Amino acid sequence: MSEKKLLTIAELEDKCVDIRSDLLNFIYRIGMGHLGGELSIVEMAVALYYKYLNFDVMDPHKEGRDRFILSKGHCSETLYTIFSDLGAYTQDYMVEHFENLDQYKFGMHSNRKKCPQIEVSAGSLGHGLPIAVGYALGARYRKENYRVIVMIGDGEFDEGTNWEALMAGGHYQLNNLTCILDKNGLQMTGTTEHVMNIDPVADKVRAFGWEVIEIEDGNDMAQVCAALDHLPERDYAKRAKPTFIISNTVKGKGVSFMEGNHKWHGGGIGEEDLKTALADVAKMRKA
């Protein structure tokens, strides 16, 4: 393994501050990103990569690894930042190889053939969950014990393919499949409630045959870990409900002027804003 796993809530919380700071610097340097959503998923992504996933960034194609699919592929910079922190790349290397034509390894939307830590090339919304259903069926067919975990956005949840895949996941009783909904309540032009209301999402998903776990505050590491502690054991043969985690988060979490502001969905960040943002994030560090 590239780095010792982080096991305590305090260690994981501390890591989230590092990741937010590195992410902001990275976005400042490359001049583009989707900071709102990238900041809302930090706690979940850190919990997964530093504690719950059987995944080594230095050996990304290892057999038997857990598969994490980021369906909201526009938030890939959070993952790149984690891969960097875990030792796969320096930030300088990532900046140098960010969308630099035929030498690129990293893009605003991720490409698994360029960055091997990425399981599925993503960008177009509504693709991750169907692919994850197939991945979980494949794990069962090949008798391999790993978890398939896919993260989708609440704006993305408008896409009908998610609902087709929810139906299939319930139908095939894919106990080795987990879907995490990053419910930050905002999409590009406004609140999800205003643009296209997905609620009552828990009831809807339950009706499709899934076990639903709700996290009241998905930016609270203790709550995130409590939810992930409930994931089923790795058992390809078990036929039971797949798991759906609703993680209520804040878009732009940790940066005062971004929180709850849909205008920070996409774009870069200027020098002055970066200073303020880094100062805000530093305040999140507990003594």
Residues that bind other proteins (CB under 8 A): 67, 111-113, 119-121, 123-124, 126-127, 129-139, 141-142, 144, 160-161, 164-165, 167-168, 172
Nearer to other proteins, 28 or 135 (CB): 135
Least separation, in Å, of the C-beta of 33 and other proteins?
Answer: 21
End-to-end Cα spacing for the chain:
28
Between 4 and 142, CB nearer to other proteins: 142
Instruction: Quote the least distance from Cβ 124 to other proteins, whole Å.
Output: 5
Which of 160, 241, 234, 176 has its CA nearest to residue 208?
241
Query: Please, what is the minimum distance in Å from the beta carbon of residue 32 to other proteins?
Result: 20
Q: Which is nearer to other proteins, 89 or 135 (CB)?
A: 135
**114 φ/ψ angles, rounded to the nearest 5 degrees:** -100, -40
Whole-number Å distance between alpha carbons of 206 and 217 = 20
Strand-pair partners of 239: 174
Asked whether 173 and 239 are in contact (CB, 8 A), the reply is yes
81 versus 176: smaller Cβ distance to other proteins? 176
Residue 121 beta carbon to other proteins: minimum distance, rounded to whole angstroms = 5
Please, which residue, 104 or 172, has the CB nearer to other proteins?
172
CB of 86 to other proteins, least distance (A): 22
What is the four-CA torsion angle of 37, 16, 8, 2, rounded to 10 degrees?
100
Q: Which residues neighbour 200 within 8 Å (Cβ) at sequence distance 6 or greater?
A: none
* Residues 182/154, Cβ–Cβ less than 8 Å: yes
Question: Which residue lies nearer to other proteins by CB, 118 or 224?
Answer: 118
Q: How many whole angstroms separate alpha carbon 110 and alpha carbon 77? A: 9
Distance CA 220, CA 249 (A): 9
- The distance of closest approach from Cβ of residue 179 to other proteins in the complex, given in angstroms and rounded to an integer, is 13
For other proteins, which is the closer residue by CB, 28 or 55? 55
Provide the minimum distance between the beta carbon of 146 and other proteins in the complex, in angstroms, as a whole number.
9
Residues 6+ apart with CB under 8 A from 34: 74, 75, 77, 108, 265, 266
Q: How far apart are CA 148 and CA 176, in angstroms?
A: 6
CB 245 within 8 A of CB 41: no
